[in-house]
Amino acid sequence: MKKLLLTAVLTGLSGVAAANGWYVQGDVGASKLQAKEEGGKIKDTKPYGRVSVGKDLGNFRYAFDYTYFGTLKNTDNYGTDGYHKAKLNAHSAGISGFYDFHNTTPLTPYVGLRASLNYLSLDTNGETDTVQYSHSHDKTQVGIGGLVGAQYQFTDKLAANAGLEYNYLGKVGPVDTKISQYGANVGLRYNF
């Protein structure tokens, strides 16, 4: 009986979602995290992923997402004078608005803006000839970004996505290190 009830509820919800243009999308790609401060900048490219739930309103779409941007690590060795290590993790929850340029082909280009709440975690440790240190800095920051890409509609329900993005994630640490991200991704979108 429970399975029958669950099936009925899920069928009803998918029917409501279909009538209202809801979709889910998953993307994976390469993320270039960059940490920039007065003394210079550090950047590295890592895999990243995003899961989105959105609504299609015709030429306009919006989506809520969770994104893992990756980890940035850096080590500086100063020989007998010591070392410095840093590790940054970046996660994000965001909302995006997209404008789709529909045409007569299955390929639909789009542009978008993204506002996000970003969780940044910076751990540093090191040693000099006179002192050892270890610091952790966690900060939640508001960020903004831009997206461009295209989706190829295979069927009414399934589309492939390819996109590029830039996100300013905020500042973290004692010297307000600026964190930004550039990314390229591919993914699949399922329309209910």
Residue 1 lies in a domain: no
**What's the total number of domains in the chain?**
1
pLDDT digits (tens, 9 = 90+) for 69-90: 989 998 888 877 888 888 999 9
User: Both tokens of residue 124?
Assistant: 């540093």
DSSP H helices in the chain:
2-20
Instruction: Give the range of the structural domain holding residue 152, as residue numbers without chain letter.
Output: 23-191
Domain CATH for 75: 2.40.160.20
Q: pLDDT averaged over the chain?
A: 89
Residue 11 lies in a domain: no
Q: What is the pLDDT of residue 78?
A: 81
158 vs 132: which has the higher pLDDT: 158
User: CA 147, 149, 150 angle in degrees (round to 5)?
Assistant: 145
Question: Rounded mean pLDDT of 98-123?
Answer: 96
